A and B are shown apart, each in its own frame.
Chain A
Amino acid sequence: MITSNLYEGGLMKRVYSVILCLFLLAILISSPLHCKETEQSLKNEAGFMTIEPIIFYFHYGDHFSRLLLKSSEARIWYSFHAADKNSAKNPLFVFFNGGPGSATCSGLMSMYTSEFTLDKGIETGGGDIFLPNPYSWTQLGNLLYIDAREAGFSYNLMSQDKSIQDEGLRFREFNAQNFNPFFDAADFIRVLLRFLASHPELQKNPVVIVGESYGGVRTTCMLHLLLNYTEYGNGSQMYQDEALVDEIQAHFDVVFPNYQGQIVPPQVITEQFGHQILIQPAISYGYQTQITDDLILQPGGLIDQFEQETGIPYDPDIHEDPLYYVKDVADRDYYIYTKPAGWLNGFFSNAARLLHFTQNLTLMTGMDVTAIPQLYASERNQAYRVISTNYPYSILLAPDIATPLIRLHFIEPAIQEARQANQEPGDMDAVFGTLQPWDRYYISSNGNANWAFHVYNVAIVRGYDVTIYEPRLGRMFLQNVAHVHTFITNAALDLVVYSDAIPPSLARHDDIVESVQHIKHPMNGEIRPGYIILNYHQSAFPNVQNLASRTIRFPLYESSCHAVSLTQPEELLSDVSAWLTEKEIDFKARER
C-alpha cells in the first residue's frame, strides 16, 4: 500500500509537473518575446554553394563557329548575416568586391558593413583586429557576402579524369571557361538564386546588389542577365547559358506566379532586383580610364600638384600610366592619394591574415566554421587555387611583358600573392588539415584568376569583347539603369576609379544618351549632395517606356578612398538608408 500510495503520489506530481511545463510552454510560445524570436528565425550561416560544370558559349551570330566552353565544378563561399530585426521581412543585400579575383571576405565583409569590422585607424595601430561595427548594414536588412570563383575561400575542383598534379592542366583551368565577366556574373546569380531557394522566407524579398570596383562590371552583367534573361538562351546575346536561363525562369515562376512559364518583363523583375549600389565601380571602364588620364594630367590637375610636391616632372616615357608615377614617384596610394602607397592594401592584407584564424572566421561569419565539411583538406583532393607556388608558367616576373597598367593592377598583386602563398598564416592547417601545394584556404586577391580574365583568355583571343574595357559593358549599364534604381559612390580621393570620370564616360555612349549631367549641389537638402542625370535618346531602348531621363544618386565622400565603407562608413550607411527609403524599400517589418 505504501508503495502504492507513494506511487500514486509520485504519479500525480509528475502529471502536475507535465501540466505546469505545458502551461509555461504555451505562455512562452504565445508571448511577444517569442513572436520576435520567430520573426528573427533566420540565423547567420556560412558555407559553400556547389556550382556544377556548366556548358555555355559565346557567339557572334554563327552557331557552328561559336566558342563553346565547359566550366569546372566550383565551391563558392558565402556568408549570410541575418538582419538585426525581422530578418524574414527585410531585403537581402548581396555584397561582392572586384578584382576580378578579389575576395569579398577581406573586402566589404571586413570593412564596416557586417556586425564586426577592422578598425579603420591603421595609422594609429588599428586595422589589425575585428571589432563590433556600429555601422553594420544588418540594420538595413540581411547580408549575403559571396567570394568569386577562386577568390577568398572559394575554390575550383578539377574533374576526376584529370590529374590535379599536372601543372599544365592547372594552367589551362585558368581560362575563359572559368573566368569571364558573363560567366562570373552567372556564378553569382546561381549562388544567389540557390540561396534564396533554400531560404523560402527570403525568396520573394527585394534584393539589393552591392558591388565594389570590378563589382560594378559584375553587377552590370548580373542585372543584364536577370532583366533580359531569355535573350541569354535564345541566341540574341553574345553570351549564351541555357542552364542559367532555366534556373532564372524557375525562380521567377515562384516569385512571380502570375507569369508562371512566361517571359517575365524587366519592369516586373525589378520588383525584386530593382536596386544597385556601386562603390567606386568600373562601369564603362575603357572610357573611364581614358578620361581619368585626361583629367589628372590636365594643367593644374593632380599630376601637376605631385610634380610641384616632389620636384620630379612626370615623364610618360618612364611611366606610361600616370598612376605609376603617383605610386613610385609621389609615394602615394592610388586608391587614396592623400595616404602613402600601399595604405589600402594594408587593410586587405590584415583582414586576409586575420581570416586565416578559425576563431576570427567564426566571429566574422557568426557560425562555427569547423562544422563546414568543404573546408577540410580531406574534402578537397581535386581542389586547386593557383597554378603553381613557384609560378613557372607565369610571366608575372618578366619585366617587359605587360603594359604598365596591367602591371600596376594585376601583376604586382599576383606577385604579392605568390610570395604570401607559401606562408598562409593562422591555424587552418591545424584545424582542417594540410592542403596540397596548389590549394589554399584563403586568397585575398588571386592573380591567376585575374590574369585568366584579362590575358589567358581564349574568348578575348577569339575576338569576343569580354574585357572590362569594352563599350559593351557601358551600354549594358545604361540599359540596366533604365529599369533599376542606382546609387554610385563618389570617393574624392580614389584615382583607380576616379569618380569625376564616371559621368563623362557614360556620356561617351552618345548613341544611347543625349547628355549626362553631374549635379553637385543638393537637390533635396541632403548632406552629401551628388546626382548623375542621364538624358536618354527616346529610341535608345524601344521596349522601355518613359525613358526620357534617369537619375543616379552620386553622393560625394570627400575623405574617402576606393573602399568607401572603410573610410566613411557612417555616412555611407546613412546615405544608403535614406536612398533606399526614398526608393520605397521599407526596412521594418515589410509585409509582402
Chain B
Amino acid sequence: MNIKKNSHDHFTRVLGLSLLLFLAMSPLAVWADKTNDDQIVPPQKFQFELFGGYTTLNPSDLNLFVSYDNTIQTFSYDAYFDYLRTNSQIQSWTKNQDSERQKIKRAFPFGARLKFHLNQTIALSIGLRYLTSSHDSNIELQYTRNEFFNEQYREELVYSPYSLSAKAYIPTLGIHIMKKLKNALTLEGFLAGGLMFARCKYLSDWTYEWWIQGANYNWLTFQNSGTLEEKGHGIGIALDVGGRLAYPLFKSLGIFLEAGYAYQVAKNISGGGSEVRDDSTEIWDGRWGIKREKMTTPWGELEFELPTNYWPEGTDERRIRDFELDLSGFQLRLGLSYRF
C-alpha cells in the first residue's frame, strides 16, 4: 500500500511541476514576442515536424537483470570452483566466455509533432515520440574443471538470445518559444509534457550441457534448457526540455537540430512472465518490483537484488521497492519541418 501511495505522490508531483513550468513559459513567451516585433510574421500557422535521433539511456532497474545474472553466474561457477580448488576437490578450473551480457545504454527515438504558431514567437504543439531499445546478446560460456585422475568436467552454457528491451510511446503537449537569429536561423526553446506508455522485457533463452571428458571418452552426461521471459508495461510521466536551431531550406520546408533532456519514468509496471524448462511451463502475472534474495551454500552466502514480476505466495516480504522503468536521457534529434 505504501509503495502505491509513493508512486501516486511522485506522479502528482511531476505533473504539478510540468504545469508550473508550462505556466512559467508564458511571460517568457510575451518577452520573446516583443523582441521579435521587427520580424515578418509568416502567414502559415501550422507546422508539421518529423524527427529522429539518439538518446542516452540508463534504465538502471531493468539493467539490474544483467548485474543479477552476472552475479549469480560468478557465485555459482567461479566462486564454487575456487572453493573446490581450495579444498583440493578439483585440481584447477578455467573459463571461456565469448561475450558479455549487454545493458541498455542508448536508443534511437523518433517522432512527429504538429505545431500551431500563436504568433511568431510562441507555438503550441502536440507530438508523439517513439523510443525503442533492444540489446540482444549471444553468449557462450564454457567452464572446465580439471578433476583428478585425468578427467575433465566441462559445463557449457549458451544464452541465445539474452535480451533486454524497452520501448515507449510518448504523446506530449508542448510550448515553444522562438527567436530569429541572423542567417535565417531560429533559436527555439521548448518544454513538452505528457504521458509515457512504456513496455519492457527480459528474455533469457539458455541451454546447459555437462560433459565428462577423459583420455578416450567424451560423454554428454546431462543437458537441459529453458526460457525465462518477464514482460512489463505501465504508464509514466514524460517531460522534454531543450532547445533547437532551425534553418529554412525552402519557403515551407526546414530542418532543425534539437537537444535536450527527456525525463521519462514509469513506476507502476506490471505484466506477465513465463519460464519454460524442457517440458514444464510456469506462467505468472505480477507487478514488477525489486526483490532481495539470499543464497546460502556450502561455499558462502550471497545477497543480491533482482528485478522481477514473479511474486509467489510468501515472497512479498522480500520486495524492497517498486520497479522503476526509467527511460530518461539526453537526446539529440534531427528533423524536418513543413509549415502550412
Contact = CB atoms under 8 A, between A and B. Distances in A.
Chain B contact surface mostly = strand
B279 A461 contact: no
Interface string B212-228: 10100101111110101
Given A234-B314, A463-B80, A64 B219 contact: no
A387 B115 CA distance: 76
B297 A463 contact: yes
Given A65-B72, A456-B221, A458-B221, A60 B295 contact: yes
A521 interface: no
B183 interface: no
B184 to A, nearest CB: 58
B100 interface: no
A119 B224 CA distance: 49
Contacts, number: 72
Given A55-B280, A60-B295, A458 B214 contact: no
B293 interface: yes
B316 interface: no
A401 interface: yes
B91 to A, nearest CB: 14
B280 A68 contact: yes
A171 B76 CA distance: 26
Contacts of B297: 60, 463
Contacts of A393: 217, 219
A395 interface: yes
B210 A61 contact: no
A63 B306 CA distance: 11
Given A171-B219, A172-B223, A235 B314 contact: yes
A401 B222 contact: no
A393 B298 CA distance: 31
B293 A70 contact: no
B76 A65 contact: yes
B188 interface: no
A592 interface: no
Interface in A192-211: none
A229 to B, nearest CB: 16
Contacts of A65: 72, 76, 295
Contacts of B223: 172
B155 interface: yes
Interface residues of B, number: 37
B277 A68 contact: yes
Q: Which of B80, B223, B294, B297 has the most CB of A within 10 A?
A: B297
A84 interface: no
Interface residues of A, number: 28
Nearest to B81: A463
B278 interface: yes
A61 B294 CA distance: 6
A65 B69 CA distance: 9
Interface string A32-70: 000000000000000000000001000011111100101
B310 A63 contact: yes
Contacts of A395: 151, 214, 217
Contacts of B140: none
A172 B76 contact: no
Contacts of A64: 228, 275, 306, 310
B31 interface: no
Contacts of A55: 280
A21 interface: no
B221 A171 contact: yes
A268 interface: no
Contacts of B306: 62, 64
Given A70-B280, A461-B210, A62 B221 contact: no
A234 B315 CA distance: 10
B39 interface: no
A465 interface: yes
A401 B298 contact: no
Contacts of B224: 68
Interface string B151-168: 101010000000000000
B295 A61 contact: yes
A61 B155 contact: no
A463 B89 CA distance: 12
B279 A400 contact: no
Nearest to B310: A63
Interface in B90-109: none
Contacts of A578: none
Given A68-B277, A235-B314, A401 B296 contact: no
A458 B310 CA distance: 26
B250 interface: no
A554 to B, nearest CB: 30
Given A61-B294, A62-B72, A63-B310, A70 B278 contact: yes
Interface string B279-315: 1100000000000011111110000101000101010
Interface string A360-383: 000000000000000000000000
A24 interface: no
**Would you list the 3 A-B pairs with minimal beta carbon distance, nearest first?**
A61-B295, A458-B222, A60-B295
20 contacts: A60-B297, A61-B294, A61-B296, A62-B295, A63-B310, A64-B228, A64-B306, A70-B279, A168-B220, A172-B220, A175-B221, A175-B222, A395-B217, A401-B149, A401-B151, A456-B221, A458-B222, A462-B76, A463-B297, A463-B299
Interface of A: 55, 60-65, 68, 70, 168, 171-172, 175-176, 234-235, 393, 395, 398, 400-402, 456, 458, 461-463, 465
Given A461-B222, A462-B76, A463-B299, 4 more contacts: A60-B297, A61-B296, A68-B224, A456-B212
